[in-house]
Amino acid sequence: MTIVIAIDGPAGSGKGTIAKKISSFYNFPHLDSGILYRSVAYLCKQGDEKIFDEKRVLKYSQNLNLEKVDFDKLRTEEIDEISSKISSFSSVRESLKIFQLNFKKIHSDKSGIVVDGRDITTVIFPDAEIKFYITASLKDRANRRFEELVLNNPKIDKKLVIKELQKRDQRDMERSTAPLKI
């Protein structure tokens, strides 16, 4: 049996850091579901068509291959914004849900996996053996996100990061498909 350690929380809460530490400690494979949405956002941005065309976004999500993704290009304000918006498409969420469930199947020979995101404990792996909900103050989350983003954009404004996190939280909690739940 493969144990699932599911971790949810809002943007910048530290869930990814915690997931990586648990993964490393137990030598379990780790999947950051945010990377899936960021990767699809990046692929959409590369095309000439409209970024927010759901059918187009769905096509990218269905053909996603993480081995071809340049992860260094995924931590930008623009990719944050696009990934947050495309995550509201129910067809895309369903497609990436399949990807995440397959992650467990691929690693069925392991004693456990660690998966983090916004709906892991409620939608993707609601029967996970171990569940965590990670949170932090808006100020702490903004500081954490700022430190990530400043590497790609030294001129980034911390007040803008706070505003964007607030908008992201609202979108994540109010989307009709798989909203972030506490």
Its sign, for the CA torsion 105, 110, 111, 113, is negative
Going by C-alpha positions, the residue among 43, 82, 78 that lies closest to residue 152 is 78
| Tokens coding 80 | 């944050």
Query: What pLDDT, on a 0 to 100 scale, did the predictor assign at position 38?
Result: 95
pLDDT of residue 49: 64
Q: What is the predicted pLDDT for the residue at 133?
A: 97
**Confidence (pLDDT) at 149:** 85
Q: Nearest CA to 18 among 115, 102, 99, 107? A: 115
pLDDT of residue 112: 98
φ and ψ of 171, to 5 deg: -60, -45
So where are the chain's domains? Answer: 3-174
Nearest 5°: the CA angle 89, 70, 23 is 80
Q: For residue 46, give the DSSP letter.
A: H
The class level of CATH for 3-174 reads: alpha beta
pLDDT of residue 177: 84
What digits encode the pLDDT tens for the residues 161-174?
A: 999 899 988 888 88
Question: What pLDDT score was predicted for residue 152?
Answer: 82
> Nearest Cα to 29, choosing from 105, 133, 124, 112?
112
Helix axes 33-46, 77-86, angle to 10 degrees: 100
Q: What is the DSSP letter of 66?
A: G
- pLDDT given for residue 16 in this prediction: 95
* pLDDT < 70: residue spans in the chain: 48-49
